[in-house]
Amino acid sequence: MSTEYDITVIGAGPGGYVAALKAARMGARVAVVEKGHLGGACLNVGCIPSKALLASAELLHKIRAAGSMGVKVHGGIEFDWAKIQKRKDKVIRKLRGGIKGLLGAGDVHLMTGTATFKAAGTLTVTTSEGKEETIHTKNTIIATGSVPARVPGWPTDPQWVCTSDEALHWKALPKRLLIVGGGVIGCEFACMMHEYGVEVHVVEMLDGLLTGMESQLGDALEASFRQRGIRILTSAKVEGMTVGQTDVTVSVSGEAPLAVDKVLVAIGRRPNTEHLGLDAIGLAPDRGFLRVDDRMQTEVAGVYCIGDANGRCLLAHAASAQGEAAVQDALGRGEAFSLPIPSAVYTFPEVAAVGMTTREATEQGIPVKVGQFPIGYLGKAMAVGEEGGFARVVRHRDDNTLLGVHLIGHNATEIIEVATAMLTMKADTQALAKMVFAHPTLGEAVKEAAEDSFEAALHLPPREFAKVVAAVEEVSIQ
């Protein structure tokens, strides 16, 4: 049997299924090929399950601090890990069902199996039972996502060394956990596991947490983690590990050997582009990633790549947005995609950012002015007992263009949307400073930070300059 589609999407993650729905909505004949569960990494082993586990952890965190809010909890505070896992699984099942329903309602042909290219426009779909089917398609959107990277040479038995894929579905909690990598995934797990009573050690090779983000965010998160008793080793490297009878002994540069029950590798993700038969259409991935133009098209006409697999931005919402852009281009209504993409870290306190960091601006030679406002100064923050964190606004020093907004604090991932809106509209920073925010809200910190970038924050005392002697080094210039 052979069918011709306008668009075939490989992978039903947040990029793929959204692309399929968009294409169907635009009147195209659409197929989606998925080898596993609907929803991709995001729904099954990423954003959603981690948020479900974090939600229980945060509730626990709040209950433990209930005394300070005048709420007494009688008896001990306990949690039921099995039930927490069950709730997470239920959330996943419900969302999978939702996607299936939407695809069905949109008249998208869902195929279960793996797709490989025979030629541009011809794909072979192999089901798990080994049945093969050839489909013809005018356009293909590769949305195969990524898998967690592992470290070559380290033990692979998930009893000892796992990635987030396994860690999200642990049946029992380890007593001692070493997390390798202080990026988003490492930080979220550190935060979550610590709350569940796990002794957590984080080893990061670079000099801080969340290193791609504005450095003050990682510094603040690190301070908060340390205060809670999470052990953070930055500028440190795992030099080796030995699996013993009952635990793993890890040697970290400059530290005494550390015995832990599990090691979680959170060093990044690897694109899933190996088994697509890309040779058949003459595409060569660059370290696994399929490079695309601003319309998400690869070097082969009619073949698009969205989401993690193109390596532009490894975030679910980026994949969805790119998916829509790819579909519009495939159906002849495309335009270059260049919208700002916010990033969100669901630790408590949350971290969120959109736009450029100070460092990125400096690297591009763009002069900046920053404004910063501590969330703890806000009435709402005090009232709800969530006083940690700050908002930081980076603007162009000369023309006032809003360049980036960086937040750490309670609900930062929700508050960032206002900044994303302004940045998407290419707003002037004055517009953000003038905007009326509801009072009392935590979002007011963004307004104050924007004002502060003009040295006009009404709720900050004028800043003084503390005199410090510059470090001096004698150099000889030849």
Partner 1 sequence: MYRLSLGESSSSPREAIVAKWLKAEGQVVTAGDSIVRLETGDANLELTSAVAGTVRQIAIREGLACRVGQVLCYVGDPAEPIPAVSPVNDAPTVSARASAQESKETVQTPTTIPEEALMSPDTPSSSSSPSSSPTTGPTGQVIPILMPQAGQSMEEGTVLEWKVAEGDSISEGQVILEIETDKANMDVEAVDSGRLAKIVAQAGAIVEVKVPIAYLADNDADVEAFIAGQGMAPEAPADPSPSVTRDETPVTGAKTASSVRSSGRVKASPAARKLAAQKNIDLNRVSQGSGPGGRVLTTDLASVEAAPGSSVGGQLSKMRRAIARNLLFSKQTIPHFYAKATIEAQRLYETYGRVKSGQFQCTINDFVVAACARSVREFEPFRGQFQADETIKVFPDCNIGLAVGTDEGLTVPVVLHADRLTLDALAAEIRNIVEGARRGKMANVGQGVFTITNLGMFGVESFQAIINPPESAILAVGALREDVKVENGAIKPTRLMALTLSVDHRVIDGVVAARFLARVRELLEAPEQLL
List, by residue number, the catalytic residues.
439
Asked if 369 and 449 touch (Cβ cutoff 8 Å), the reply is: no
67 binds partner 1 (CB under 8 A): yes
Size of the site for partner 1 (CB under 8 A): 51
* Separation between Cα atoms, residue 58 and residue 51, nearest integer Å: 10
Which burial class, exposed, middle or buried, applies to 163 when counting CB atoms under 10 A from its CB (0-12, 13-18, 19+)? Answer: buried
Segment (H or E) for 153: none
Asked if 125 and 288 touch (Cβ cutoff 8 Å), the reply is: no
Q: How big is the chain, counted in residues?
A: 478
358 binds partner 1 (CB under 8 A): yes
Query: Least CB distance from residue 207 to partner 1, whole Å?
Result: 4
The residue (of 14 and 409) whose beta carbon lies closer to partner 1 is 409
Per-residue x/- mask for partner 1, residues 23 to 62, rule CB under 8 A?
----------------------------------------
Asked if 17 and 324 touch (Cβ cutoff 8 Å), the reply is: no
Asked if 143 and 18 touch (Cβ cutoff 8 Å), the reply is: no
Query: Least CB distance from residue 249 to partner 1, whole Å?
Result: 20
Beta bridge partners of 7: 30, 139
Binds partner 1 (CB under 8 A): choice among 65, 105, 383, 456:
65
CA-wise closest residue to 109 among 14, 21, 36: 21
399 binds partner 1 (CB under 8 A): no
Asked if 259 and 241 touch (Cβ cutoff 8 Å), the reply is: no
Query: Least CB distance from residue 208 to partner 1, whole Å?
Result: 7
The residue (of 284 and 472) whose beta carbon lies closer to partner 1 is 472
CA-wise closest residue to 98 among 165, 8, 18: 18
Amino acid identity of residue 108, one-letter, is V
Report the site for partner 1 in 210-239 (rule: CB under 8 A).
215-216, 219, 223, 226-229, 234-235
463 binds partner 1 (CB under 8 A): yes
The residue (of 241 and 361) whose beta carbon lies closer to partner 1 is 361
Instruction: State the residue for tokens 């406002």.
Output: 373
CA-wise closest residue to 146 among 331, 341, 288: 288
464 binds partner 1 (CB under 8 A): yes
361 binds partner 1 (CB under 8 A): yes
369 binds partner 1 (CB under 8 A): yes
Q: Would you tell me which residues interact with partner 1 (CB under 8 A)? A: 64-65, 67-68, 207-208, 215-216, 219, 223, 226-229, 234-235, 253-254, 358-359, 361-363, 365-372, 390, 392, 397-398, 452, 463-477
